[in-house]
């Protein structure tokens, strides 16, 4: 490509170590991989396919993965990839774009970078990527039925994010937050923004724990019932009629979910949904950030003075923890137990650190993550 990357605009004491920009003349695929920091292990992060993705966006996401992996206690660094993809114009070439991208970064993957699903990529694209790359561990989030045989005929298979690892982890993080707030989980009321993969599995697991989910939303609006909603009923309505709003309860505009009088608010879909325009209307005692960047940092800082907020890179780490389980050849049962343990331990550690040092949970989480990466960098530099 003619345009050169000015790597200096991104660099600081942590990285990035490498930015790779690629182009395939045959398909027209244009993409890039940012390998931010590999002190703890190969850079881990998904492949995002959108028409607007650029190097700056991918760098920010790669840096977030550096902290997320470190805080989760995983032997991964932070990375991310982007492929410029217009679904209307390039939709039929999606598989070819993935193949071309896998070929183009073969020198980096999996030795320095391990991919995963992200926006507009799924287990299907990860299988295509791995087959083209030629190395089973060049990507995680592969289909459960996509397997290979190891020594002694042991079979190792993919662990797709469709197993619900992120939402499952959010539920466990929520339970620990409730414990710190001295609210019994079986007395807690919860509102969940978003009924996609993360929102549905969060709903299901919290209901199993005994919490009362009183509101859930999708792109059509909010379903609110102070008496409580049932997962199987809401899921059936969603499947049958295309939206949760047709369920048993009041239909509200989408933005109203952030104003409900609940113990726990879980934004699990879009970025910046809590902002300067509605922050003063939030009545929840706890916010658990299941989505990435559900509010600007300055808004989060202000709200932290009156609301207990579990940051995104703490609460939604279940996906990358699942990736690690897949990476080392484990199955769904092991993965769910690992997600459960790490989310509970890490949320507890972050909150204890925040309370002891009188700082916000985000500051506490960043402090822990940065100390771990710094120690790893020092060990690497002393060799």
Cite the active site residues: 80
Dihedral angle computed from the Cα positions of residues 10, 16, 18 and 19, in that order, rounded to the nearest 10 degrees: -40
**How far apart, in whole angstroms, are the C-alpha atoms of residue 151 and residue 335?**
21
Helix (H) or strand (E) holding 63: helix 55-71
The conformation of residue 121, written as its DSSP 8-state character, comes to -
Helix (H) or strand (E) holding 341: helix 332-357
**How far apart, in whole angstroms, are the C-alpha atoms of residue 361 and residue 344?**
14
Phi, then psi, of 278 in degrees rounded to 5: -125, 0
- The tokens describing 294, both together, are 């559900």
**How far apart, in whole angstroms, are the C-alpha atoms of residue 120 and residue 81?**
12
CA distances from residue 322 to 116, 140, 225, 336, 338 in whole angstroms, order as listed: 11, 9, 33, 8, 8
What contacts 237, CB < 8 A, 6 or more positions away?
243, 244, 246, 247
**How far apart, in whole angstroms, are the C-alpha atoms of residue 332 and residue 370?**
30
| Contact status, residue 152 vs residue 166, Cβ threshold 8 Å | no
């Amino acid at each position: 490509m003619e345009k050169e990357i000015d790597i200096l605009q991104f660099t600081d004491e942590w990285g990035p170590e490498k930015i790779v920009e690629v182009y395939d003349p045959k398909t027209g695929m244009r993409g890039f991989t940012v390998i931010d920091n590999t002190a703890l292990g190969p850079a881990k992060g998904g492949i995002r396919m959108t028409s607007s993705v650029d190097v700056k966006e991918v760098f920010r996401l790669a840096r977030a993965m550096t902290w997320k992996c470190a805080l989760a206690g995983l032997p991964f660094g932070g990375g991310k990839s982007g492929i410029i993809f217009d679904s209307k114009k390039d939709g039929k070439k999606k598989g070819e774009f993935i193949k071309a991208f896998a070929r183009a970064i073969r020198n980096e993957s999996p030795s320095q970078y391990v991919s995963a699903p992200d926006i507009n990529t799924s287990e299907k694209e990860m299988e295509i990527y791995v087959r083209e790359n030629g190395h089973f561990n060049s990507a995680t989030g592969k289909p459960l039925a996509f397997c290979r045989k190891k020594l002694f005929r042991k079979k190792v298979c993919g662990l797709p994010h469709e197993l619900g690892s992120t939402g499952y982890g959010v539920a466990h993080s929520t339970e620990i937050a409730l414990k710190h707030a001295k609210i019994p989980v079986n007395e807690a009321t919860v509102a969940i923004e978003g009924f996609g993969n993360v929102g549905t599995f969060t709903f299901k697991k919290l209901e199993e724990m005994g919490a009362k989910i009183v509101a859930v939303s999708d792109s059509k609006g909010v379903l609110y019932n102070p008496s409580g909603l049932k997962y199987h009923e809401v899921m059936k309505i969603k499947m049958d009629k295309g939206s949760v709003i047709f369920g048993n309860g009041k239909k509200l505009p989408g933005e109203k979910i952030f104003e409900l009088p609940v113990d726990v608010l879980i934004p699990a879909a879009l970025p910046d949904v809590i902002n300067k325009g509605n922050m003063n209307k939030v009545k929840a005692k706890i916010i658990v950030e299941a989505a990435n960047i559900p509010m600007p940092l300055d808004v989060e800082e202000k709200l932290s003075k009156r609301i207990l907020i579990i940051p995104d890179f703490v609460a939604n780490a279940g996906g990358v923890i699942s990736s690690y389980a897949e990476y080392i050849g484990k199955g769904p049962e092991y993965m769910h137990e690992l997600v459960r343990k790490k989310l509970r331990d890490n949320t507890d550690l972050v909150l204890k650190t925040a309370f002891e040092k009188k700082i916000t949970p985000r500051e506490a989480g960043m402090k822990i993550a940065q100390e771990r990466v710094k120690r790893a960098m020092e060990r690497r530099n002393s060799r």
